[in-house]
Chain A
Amino acid sequence: MMSSVPGPDKKTKLMVYTIEECPVCGQKTKRAFAVGDYVTKDGAKCTKCGNQAKITLVYAEGSKPSG
């Protein structure tokens, strides 16, 4: 489930992302946050080396609404 929350100025919407990082090759993948994600949880297989990636960060980033 994609999550968005109102930003501090109410005009900006905050989109929440999950960052997965491969502990072997360091490849980082950014995707939309899904309920159940948490830091250190196993993520998907690394697209570069095939090792198990881990969630290293979950954060919100502002995005101005279009129009």
Chain B
Amino acid sequence: MFTLLPSVLQASSNSSGGGIADLLNSNTVFLIFWVGFFFVTFFYQARLQSYMALNDISRGLNKLKVMKDKSRKEAIDYLVNVGKASADPAQRVDQFLDYVTIMPVETDPNGIIPKIDHVVTTNNDRVRAEVGALLGGQSNPVTVSISENLLEVATSLNQIHKIVRHYYLLGKKTNSYITLLQLQMLMPMIIQEADALLNAVDSFKLGQPVGDGIGPVIVSKYMTGGEKRAIAKDTVMAISEYKGRKLYVLKADGPMAYVGQPGVAITKIIQEMGVKPSAIVMIDAALKLEGEKTGEIAEGVGAAIGGIGVEKFQIEEAATKAKVPLYAILVKQSILEAITVMRKEIAEAAEKATQVLNRVIEEKTKEGDDVVIAGIGNTLGVAQ
């Protein structure tokens, strides 16, 4: 802008002889434009950025709406075509999508976990009953579990869309530049997660194992041939032997799309069955950080389990009371890889993870010991 100043001054000094036409030469027009631009950006910058943020969010919101509608349609199609729903399930599915779970009060000093467990169990039972009603008494547990998962995906996408829309409209209504800017910055991550959820629909429909099922894949090898019995809701256990150690192997009941109740199962093994394990080894999928390779294996200590925290608490509680060390074997993957069909890199990690598991058993326990092995994750497409 300041480079134009000398020429403008020159134009001004010549104005006495040249008239207004000389004054308004091209440089002056440019100057006026730049000064105007400076003032507009100075005073209206926030408003302009709000306008751009609104546009960005609006585009993202449209994408989320398309994803939400697609997942709802896929769930309804599955219920009708595969589940053979007796009546048109659209209205009940819509009611299902808006169902809410109210978490217990967080300031309870007596322990919130049993209350969360109670609310979550009630919700899970309600979901299964609802799906059972939609399918009109469909007895195939795989179809029922896949329907549950598809409805949960549709519910999640519906919730994401609603929350983003809420903040979008709130930011627009209150003209809150900061609200809109934060939402604009978060949109790429929100879209990525929503995209991962939508991609999961294809794997669920076909009953293909997902990346999160790597833990169940690994432990299923230790259950082959052994007698399996239900030990908790949707959870099975088999007793096997490895190099003189007695293994209590557990996983969710496959090939249904269940995650089971490993916390209840481990508590039962220790407290009700009176087993005194020398170690609890948990194998689970873990979210990788950007830059880490899919299928990388990490070892550690502690309860390797995600979710809302109820199962993790129960496992930690049981292990602490019995003074049993907890060991973790993790297979790294992204959120997309965890909920969509298992990638080759993850499947190939099963062999390496099995070697690590065998080594952990050999190093941390001795012959004659009892060991609990838990394969954590969604066991869709992985039986035992």
Binding site for B on A (CB under 8 A): 1, 3, 5-6, 8, 14, 16, 19, 33, 35-41, 54, 57-62
B347 touches A5 (CB 8 A): no
Q: How far is the CB of B143 from chain A (nearest CB, A)?
A: 12
A57 touches B254 (CB 8 A): no
- Knowing A5-B199, A8-B336, A60-B342, the reply to whether A38 touches B209 (Cβ < 8 A) is yes
Q: Give how many B residues have a beta carbon under 8 Å from the other chain's beta carbons.
A: 28
Q: In the complex, which residues of chain A have a beta carbon less than 8 angstroms from the beta carbon of B383?
A: 38-41
> Is B217 part of the contact surface with A, judged by Cβ < 8 Å?
yes
A33 touches B350 (CB 8 A): no
Could you count the A-B residue pairs with CB atoms below 8 Å apart for me: how many are there?
78
Q: In the complex, which residues of chain B have a beta carbon less than 8 angstroms from the beta carbon of A1?
A: 206
Q: In the complex, which residues of chain A have a beta carbon less than 8 angstroms from the beta carbon of B254?
A: 38-40
Binding site for A on B (CB under 8 A): 199, 202-203, 206-209, 217, 220, 224, 254-255, 334, 336-337, 340-344, 346-348, 350, 381-384
Q: In the complex, which residues of chain B have a beta carbon less than 8 angstroms from the beta carbon of A6?
A: 199
A36-B348 Cα distance, complex, nearest whole Å? 22
Chain A, residue nearest B225 (CB): A23
A38 touches B381 (CB 8 A): yes
B199 touches A59 (CB 8 A): no
B344 touches A33 (CB 8 A): no
B346 touches A59 (CB 8 A): yes
A14 touches B341 (CB 8 A): yes
A5 touches B343 (CB 8 A): no
A3-B208 Cα distance, complex, nearest whole Å? 10
